[in-house]
Amino acid sequence: MPLPATLGRSIVFSLLCLFGTAVWAADVPTPIVMHHTSWTAREGAPQMVITMTQTRDGWLWLGGSNGLFRFDGVRFEAYDRPLPSAGIAILNAFDDGSLWIGYRYGGVSVLSHGQLRNYGERDGLPANAAVWGLEHDSQGRMWAATNRGLYHLDGERWLAAGADFALPMVGFKTLMLDRQRNLWAQGNNGVFELRANERRFIKAGPENGTGVLFQFPDESVWSWDALHSVARRLTQPASGAPAQPLALADDLASLLVDRQGGLWAGRVAELEYHTANGIQRSGREQGLSGQWVAALFEDAEGSIWASTSTGIDRFRHQRISPVHFAQEAVGAPLQADADGGVWVGKVHFVRQPDGSFVQQPLRLTPVTMGRRGRARCTAIPPASSGSAATVASGGNAGSNCACFKVRRTWTWDGP
C-alpha cells in the first residue's frame, strides 16, 4: 500500500559537491531519539538519491543519477517508462497530484494522471542546462531554476525571466515558496524575492553564493550560503524576536526545517537533529544507511526521510519509548498530569517540547492531621489546574500525611 495519501511538503535542497573536508565531532554524539528504519541495496533501495518528494496518492518518489524510483513503505520500484535523462536533479509534487522532474543535463518532465509530458530546448528551455529547482509562484505559474537563469512556463512554452522580472541571467539553484506565498530564488548573484501577486523580483541581500532557502515556523526566511558556510536571516519573524545564530557545520549537504521547527542538517558523515535541548546525531555507528546525507524530506505524517550515498533512512516520532526510573517505582500506580507528563508513584516525569521526559525532584510538605491515634488520608483531586488538593482525615486522628506540588500538580504519599 502507498504511504499516507495527503501531500507532505518540505524545504529541501542537496548542495552537491560544494564543500571541502568534513568536520568531525570530538565528543560522543547523542543519537537521534526517534524510531529509525534504514534501507540499503539489500532491501532494494536505490543509491545516490539526491531529491525526494511525496505525491498526493502517498507514493514517496526518489531521484538521482540512477533514475527515478518510488516507494510504498515496503518495496522500491524503478519507474518503468523512458525518461529524457537518467540524471535527475530535482523532484517536486503539487496539490493537483502532479510530479515535476528536473534533469541534471537539461529538460523538465511532468507526470500527471499517468501521462508523461517532456519539455526541452524546442519548448524554450536552454540546451544542456541543469534544472535544479521547480516551484509554483502565488499565481500558480511554474518556475524552473537552471544554471543559465530562471525560466517560467507560459502555456506550453518556457520563457527566460530576465530584465522584465528584474533578474540577472545567471545560474540559480534553489526555489522556495514560503507560507506567505512569496517565491524565493537563490543563485550565483544572491537571493531574490517575488512577492505574492507582484510582477518583479527584488534583491533580498547583497550576498552572493549558491545555497539553500528555508523558513522557520516563526515565519522568518533564512539563506544558507554554501560557498561561504554562512546562514543569514532574510526576513524578521512574526514576533520581531532578534536573530539567533544557527550552529551549522561547514560540510553541509542538505537542510530541512520540519513542521515543529526542528532543524535537520545532512553532513558528510552523519545526520544532525537540532532541538531545544541540544543537537542529536546519527551516523553509521547509530545505524544510518551510509555517508553523505544528500537529501532530506518531511512526509505527510511528519516522518523525516534522509538519503545517503548507499541507502534511505526514515526517522519518525516514537509512539512507545522506554523510560528509566528507580527500582522502587516499578509496579507503582500511574497518573497523567495536565501537561502531557506522568506520575509513577512518587516520581514525576515532565514532558519536554521535543517529546522526551525529564524527572523532577520532589518537595514534600508534611501535614499533621490529629494528636493521637491513626487517621486515614484521602486526597480529593483539585478542581482546576494550579489549585491545591484537599487532604481529609477519617477514622482515628493522630496520623501524618504529606502533600507536595510540582508543575501545578498536587499529590500525596499515602498512610
Domain boundary among the residues 273, 294, 316 is at: 316
Whether 16 is covered by a domain: the verdict is no
| DSSP line for 351-365 | EPTTS-EEEEPP--E
Whether 250 is covered by a domain: the verdict is yes
How far the first Cα of the chain sits from its last, in Å, is 55
Whether 6 is covered by a domain: the verdict is no
The Cα–Cα gap between 174 and 321 comes to 38
Backbone angles phi, psi at 328, to 5 degrees: -65, -20
The Cα–Cα gap between 41 and 123 comes to 37
The Cα–Cα gap between 365 and 403 comes to 6
Question: pLDDT tens digits for 147-190?
Answer: 999 999 999 999 999 899 999 999 999 999 999 999 999 988 88
Spell out the residues 6+ positions from residue 128 whose beta carbon is closer than 8 angstroms to its own. Answer: 105, 106
Domain of residue 135: give its range: 35-316
Strands of 178-257 (E only): list them: 183-187, 190-194, 202-203, 211-215, 221-225, 230-233, 252-257
Whether 292 is covered by a domain: the verdict is yes
For residues 101 and 203, state if they share a domain.
yes
For residues 213 and 245, state if they share a domain.
yes
Domain boundary among the residues 292, 316, 340 is at: 316
For residues 293 and 355, state if they share a domain.
no
pTM, rounded to two decimals: 0.73
For residues 332 and 267, state if they share a domain.
no
SS3 (DSSP) at 376: strand
Whether 308 is covered by a domain: the verdict is yes
Identify the pLDDT of residue 354. 65
For residues 336 and 218, state if they share a domain.
no
Whether 21 is covered by a domain: the verdict is no
Dihedral sign for Cα 345, 346, 349, 350, please. Answer: positive
- When pLDDT is cut at 50, 70 and 90, the band that residue 6 belongs to is very low
Domain boundary among the residues 284, 316, 348 is at: 316
SS3 (DSSP) at 151: strand
Q: Which residue has the higher pLDDT, 23 or 211?
A: 211
- In Å, what is the CA distance from 143 to each residue of 35, 154, 196, 367? 36, 10, 14, 71
Cell matching residue 336: 497523567
* pLDDT of 378 above 90: no
Contact 224, 257 (CB under 8 A): no
For residues 268 and 156, state if they share a domain.
yes
For residues 337 and 302, state if they share a domain.
no
SS3 (DSSP) at 329: helix
* pLDDT of 393 above 80: no
Cβ-in-10-Å burial (0-12, 13-18, 19+) of 401 comes to buried
Contact 353, 389 (CB under 8 A): no
Identify the pLDDT of residue 295. 97
Q: How many domains does the chain have?
A: 2
For residues 139 and 260, state if they share a domain.
yes
Q: Average pLDDT of the chain?
A: 81
Q: What angle do CA 64, 95, 151 make, to 5 degrees?
A: 60
For residues 276 and 337, state if they share a domain.
no
Q: Which residue has the higher pLDDT, 278 or 14?
A: 278
Identify the pLDDT of residue 322. 65
Q: Say which residue the cell 543559465 belongs to.
A: 148
**Of the spans 204-213, 259-268, 345-354, which averages the highest pLDDT?**
259-268
Whether 65 is covered by a domain: the verdict is yes
* pLDDT of 43 above 90: yes
Nearest of 166, 162, 147 to residue 106 by alpha carbon: 147
For residues 375 and 281, state if they share a domain.
no
* pLDDT of 265 above 60: yes
For residues 259 and 287, state if they share a domain.
yes
For residues 267 and 311, state if they share a domain.
yes
Dihedral angle over CA of 56, 59, 60, 65, nearest 10: -110
Whether 321 is covered by a domain: the verdict is no
Identify the pLDDT of residue 367. 53
Identify the pLDDT of residue 184. 96
**CATH number, domain at 294?**
2.130.10.10
Identify the pLDDT of residue 145. 97
Question: pLDDT tens digits for 90-106?
Answer: 999 999 999 999 999 99
- When pLDDT is cut at 50, 70 and 90, the band that residue 249 belongs to is confident
